[in-house]
């Protein structure tokens, strides 16, 4: 097996035989097998196989997405969907590599932070055209992501990021209800940190996945109706909402009101620390409700809107992340691919999909199915309906790099190396290079 046995038995070794053996082995490897080349295969009998790459299947109950695809096949007997599930962490580099070599699957799951480079690569199909061809009226779509007036990505399921509070920890600190304003939030976080072993808040500022910038820093500005952009350009300096958000988080980190080691924490670490009672509050994806109840069935917690800037009025913003969908520009079956997108955006199917994913539908007319769902889920939906979904990073060029730049400078200001104003003007300059 490991060479010795096999080689030892070579009774009559000659160099010709050795070379021949090695050459055959190599040739077999190189020449062998032509199957499995990417893209979808079209049958001569009109049957079409669509490939659909996504990270959704592993996030949903086992087999749930496949069942939905089987239903699609029942409705469209000539179209079979082959699911290609990949880990979310690596799907971005996969998708970019596939696009570069022209092997992007027919239908692709997209994240708001990598739709831009794919669009620039020319790898995505213009969905506005596809809709027109199919006579589809997009009036029910909650949102669309596009460039130059055309759509390239449609958010299928939206995940909101409300405030989670641990009831026991709050009451132990003498707090009767979840905070609703920045100052209440800051005061509560400090109170919790001083009253027991738990910290007030958990904020992940690790650079592996810099989305703490979006979820835990800038979300404060967005919740209060603020914006980091102005006419599509970065607008971080002289922006009271952004400055306020940065100062809020900085103050809490500096006064040790957050879980220690924030610089190494990732989004994935929030839930476990929350379940284990190490942090009293977190801004986190509603999709984690099941993880929380499974992890600690006895935990009493509340879900509320992210606190807003003191004195802020108007419709509050609510941080939203999406599972987006797009179609490969190189697909041989654009009509069939669009049919699949349309199927997923359809009122009933979209509702089914979002319920399975613990998210909210991308179709405005769909309602999540609350039967048997966690009561927090319904509460969150009520908040969601009252607020404006927002995520300003979606579709921006090099969104990950923007967040990394922001995070690096933020770490500096927390470490006392520069003021908030210096930090924001540095980030502003770095961002301008990307736009």
**H helices of 255-365, where?**
267-275, 289-295, 334-345, 347-357
Q: Give the integer Cα–Cα distance in Å for 250 and 194.
A: 18
Cβ–Cβ under 8 Å, residues 277 and 155: no
Number of residues forming the site for another protein (CB under 8 A)? 95
Q: How far is the CB of 56 from another protein (least distance, A)?
A: 9
Residues 171-200 that bind another protein (CB under 8 A): none
Cβ–Cβ under 8 Å, residues 393 and 188: no
Choice between 180 and 207, CB closer to another protein: 207
By CB under 8 A, name the one of 96, 134, 229, 373 that touches another protein: 96
Q: Give the integer Cα–Cα distance in Å for 347 and 432.
A: 40
Angle, in degrees to the nearest 10, between helices 334-345 and 64-75: 120
Choice between 124 and 308, CB closer to another protein: 124
By CB under 8 A, name the one of 64, 66, 76, 88 that touches another protein: 88
Q: How far is the CB of 224 from another protein (least distance, A)?
A: 26
- Regarding 87 and contact with another protein (CB under 8 A), the answer is yes
Cβ–Cβ under 8 Å, residues 398 and 221: no
Q: How far is the CB of 136 from another protein (least distance, A)?
A: 28
Residues 210-269 that bind another protein (CB under 8 A): 210, 259-265, 268
Part of the chain binding another protein (CB under 8 A), chosen from 77-85, 124-132, 242-250, 368-376:
77-85
Q: Determine how β-strand 317-327 pairs with β-strand 150-160.
A: antiparallel
Residues 128-167 that bind another protein (CB under 8 A): 159
Residues 268-327 that bind another protein (CB under 8 A): 268, 272-273, 275-276, 278, 285, 287-288, 291, 294-296
Q: Give the integer Cα–Cα distance in Å for 112 and 393.
A: 7
By CB under 8 A, name the one of 137, 280, 339, 412 that touches another protein: 412
Write the DSSP symbol of residue 363.
B
Residues 3-22 that bind another protein (CB under 8 A): 3-4, 6-8, 10, 13-15, 17-19, 21-22
Q: Give the integer Cα–Cα distance in Å for 38 and 103.
A: 5
Tokens representing 19? Answer: 């070379």
């Amino acid at each position: 097996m490991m060479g010795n046995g096999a080689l030892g038995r070579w009774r009559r070794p000659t160099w010709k035989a050795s070379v021949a053996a090695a050459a055959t082995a190599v040739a077999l490897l190189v020449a062998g097998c032509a199957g499995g080349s990417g893209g979808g295969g079209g049958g001569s009998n009109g049957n079409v196989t669509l490939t659909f790459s996504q990270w959704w299947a592993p996030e949903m109950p086992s087999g749930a997405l496949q069942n939905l695809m089987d239903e699609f096949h029942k409705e469209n007997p000539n179209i079979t969907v082959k699911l290609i599930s990949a880990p979310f962490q690596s799907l971005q580099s996969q998708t970019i590599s596939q696009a570069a070599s022209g092997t992007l699957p027919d239908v692709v799951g997209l994240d708001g932070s990598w739709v831009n480079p794919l669009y620039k690569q020319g790898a995505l199909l213009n969905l506005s055209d596809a809709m027109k061809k199919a006579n589809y009226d997009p009036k029910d779509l909650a949102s669309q992501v596009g460039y130059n007036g055309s759509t390239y990505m449609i958010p299928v399921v939206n995940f909101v990021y409300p405030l989670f509070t641990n009831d026991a920890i709050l009451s132990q600190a003498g707090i009767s209800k979840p905070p609703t304003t920045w100052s209440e939030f800051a005061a509560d976080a400090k109170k919790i940190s001083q009253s027991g072993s738990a910290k007030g808040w958990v904020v992940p500022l690790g650079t592996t996945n810099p989305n703490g910038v979006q979820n835990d820093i800038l979300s404060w500005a967005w919740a209060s109706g603020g914006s980091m952009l102005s006419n599509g350009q970065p607008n971080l300096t002289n922006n009271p909402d952004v400055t306020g958000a940065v100062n809020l988080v900085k103050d809490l980190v500096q006064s040790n009101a957050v879980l220690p080691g924030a610089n190494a924490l990732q989004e994935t670490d929030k839930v476990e620390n929350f379940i284990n009672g190490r942090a009293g509050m977190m801004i986190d994806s509603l999709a984690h409700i099941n993880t929380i109840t499974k992890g600690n069935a006895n935990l009493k917690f509340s879900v509320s809107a992210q606190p807003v800037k003191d004195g802020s009025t108007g419709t509050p913003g609510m941080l939203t992340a999406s599972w987006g969908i797009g179609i490969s520009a190189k697909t041989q079956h654009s009509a069939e691919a669009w049919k699949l997108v349309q199927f997923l955006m359809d009122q009933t199917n979209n509702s089914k999909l979002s319920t399975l994913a613990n998210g909210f539908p991308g179709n405005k007319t769909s309602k999540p199915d609350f039967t048997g769902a966690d009561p927090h889920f319904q509460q969150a939906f009520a908040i969601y309906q009252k607020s404006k979904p927002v995520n300003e990073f979606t579709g921006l060029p090099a969104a990950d790099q923007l967040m990394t730049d922001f995070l690096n400078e933020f770490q500096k200001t927390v470490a006392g190396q520069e003021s908030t104003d210096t930090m924001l003007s540095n980030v502003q300059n770095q961002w301008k290079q990307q736009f």
